[in-house]
Structure 1
Amino acid sequence: MTDVRPYFVPGADAVTVSDWSQLVDGTWESLGEEVENWDYRTDLRLRCAVEADVARIRADTHLTDGSPLAFHFGWRASDTYLVGPSTRVPLVNRQFDVEIEIDPQFAGASIVLTRRLVLERDRFSPRAGEASRAGSILWSHEQPLRLMGQEALFPTEVVDFEAFGIDPGASWHLVMPASPDEPAMGALLLLLNPLDTKLVKAVQRVKNHSDEQLALIEGMEEGVVDEMVRWSLAHWDELGECDPESFGAAARTLTSRVLDEPAAWASDAVLRSSMDLRSSIAAGTRAIGFGRSLS
């Protein structure tokens, strides 16, 4: 589809940008359509190179009067609809690199990386065909990026539930840490009951799941997140002081993404509105990419 705007815009080759790169263990690596092994504790730092023909841009847009133009680099979450802060670079230099950081607490399951060149101030005497409103987008480029796949959230093991003292009629059991201060890595263990052969096969399958298998996994995901959020609410007053690398801090981050106002649920009143809490957790869980999708 051709993008037709009501004002002059730069030619297609007036602005060129590189692909985005991701910082991984101190090294910049090419970024594809998804970030592998991402979780809600992982900061995302991206970089790209830009080459802009400044004189050409102003000539093509007829904005030769010194009107302030600037690039804005940022992102928006495509499922939670939150918009991240943008990095502003005035249209001055022909070549430059730009870096952005994505806060994992607000990223959701997928985001759209945005690059735009905008007019930053209203123009009061524009001629016909010239951009006049602050915020007018003269050039833009967007790239979708998926941050979560179908991989298991935690280490899983298939064990004899009766031997572990767990009701053998249950399909799964989440082993939670005794203290919020325990390190986040390795704090959780998801146990699967071998008697539920359908669930075990679904979890162990790497790809090409059947609809039934996806339903089993998604249902378990929602239950696991529900358990973690309820655990967080029961310890809410303690979690704010936890070490950033602790399970308590990770659980607080997850809960803040799932529920709009976690503190409002962290009271005895929650016990009297358990179904309301369950509904809110389910909706929030789906919004960040776990559990079932209604579309």
Structure 2
Amino acid sequence: MEPWLLVTEDGEIPLPEALPDWDYQMDLHLRRTVRVDLRRARAQSGLPVEAALMLAAVWTATGSNLSGPAQHVRLTDDGTRGVDLDVLLRGADLGGLLLLDTALVLAERRHDARPSSPRRAGSVLWSDRATLRLQGDAPQFPMAVIDFARTSFPDGAAWHLQISGNLESATMGSLLLLINERSTVTAAAFKNAGKPGPVDRIVLSAVYADAARTMIEHALGLDDFVEEGDFPDGSLGATLVGLFDQLFPGRSITDIRLRRRQSPALFASDLQAAVKIFEGAR
């Protein structure tokens, strides 16, 4: 197989490890060529010469919890076949780590297969995976606007902050703010974030406050989030420590963790006051 290529306005470039300037409005156009020796593939898999195969490409985005088929090509001829994969992925469906799986599979069930050979449709004869980190080094808070109805998130939720990885993981690969496109007020607020109106400011303030609460509660729930923790620059741990120090200057992690455990309602009010909810909406 040839490597995946990213199609840009300036031409095609080899797929990089990360796209630091990516955002949800940026669609991805990808290409690659795979050459399949069909006779050899069938022979080494114990399949008859007439067995139909299929070359399939599938994408998965860890940030949006979405995946889907990118392209598939049925292969019934003999000899060596070159297959051009040409894929266009909507930016609104992506986020986090993009996984690109290419696989040669059995196209249809074989009832006459030998015990040691593939027989079920979709049996994988060969596979290859490429990865692309989206927003890996971006200075902005990583986010994506998606349709929650196509995910496991509640349809009626306006946003969801996704946190993954451990405290040593890179911040921009561990955090993703998902906006439900069905919540038109919320989606509009982020679209107008450069010049927000009065309603936009209220929504943005509420999302900021909720994101800060989620991050602090996530941190306090981890045993290794402690004062003496030494986290690398750019890591999730360093980001959470920075946020904690900003919201609770002069307070210890132990004290705040105890406050949350003993008086959760007061802790919620403390956090609300710390983030200064709606103060920026004036």
TM-score by length of 2: 0.51
1:196-235 alignment to 2 at 5 Å? 233=183, 235=185
Match of 1:118 in 2: 105
Deviation at 1:89, TM superposition (A): 1.2
Match of 1:51 in 2: 35
Q: Residues 49 and 281 from structure 1, CA distance in 2 versus in 1: closer, same or farther, beyond 3 angstroms? A: farther
1:114-153 alignment to 2 at 5 Å? 114-153=101-140
Deviation at 1:62, TM superposition (A): 2.1
CA distance in 1, matches of 2:111, 2:62: 35
CA distance in 1, matches of 2:95, 2:131: 12
Match of 1:100 in 2: 87
Gaps of 5+ in 2: 142-166, 195-202, 219-234, 241-282
* SS of equivalent to 1:85: strand
Query: Is 1:247 aligned to 2:219, yes or no?
Result: no
- Equivalent residue pairs, number: 180
CA contact under 8 A between 2:27 and 2:90: conserved in structure 1?
yes
Deviation at 1:109, TM superposition (A): 1.1
CA distance in 2, matches of 1:81, 1:21: 24
Deviation at 1:248, TM superposition (A): 5.5
Match of 2:72 in 1: 88
* SS of equivalent to 1:59: helix
Q: Which amino acid aligns with 2:117?
A: E
CA contact under 8 A between 1:51 and 1:94: conserved in structure 2?
yes
Q: Residues 62 and 148 from structure 1, CA distance in 2 versus in 1: closer, same or farther, beyond 3 angstroms? A: same
CA distance in 2, matches of 1:20, 1:234: 36
CA contact under 8 A between 1:74 and 1:100: conserved in structure 2?
no
Instruction: Summarize deviations over 1:32-60 as a string: whole Å, max 9, x none.
Output: 21124111110001111111111111221
Percent of pairs identical after alignment?
27
Gaps of 5+ in 1: 1-16, 155-210, 240-245, 251-269
Q: Which amino acid aligns with 2:118?
A: A
What is the CA RMSD across the aligned residues, in angstroms? 4.5
CA contact under 8 A between 1:84 and 1:102: conserved in structure 2?
no
Q: Which amino acid aligns with 1:121?
A: E
Instruction: Summarize deviations over 1:72-120 as a string: whole Å, max 9, x none.
Output: 0121123444212220012246113211122222212111111001112
Deviation at 1:70, TM superposition (A): 0.4
TM-score by length of 1: 0.49
CA distance in 1, matches of 2:213, 2:6: 31
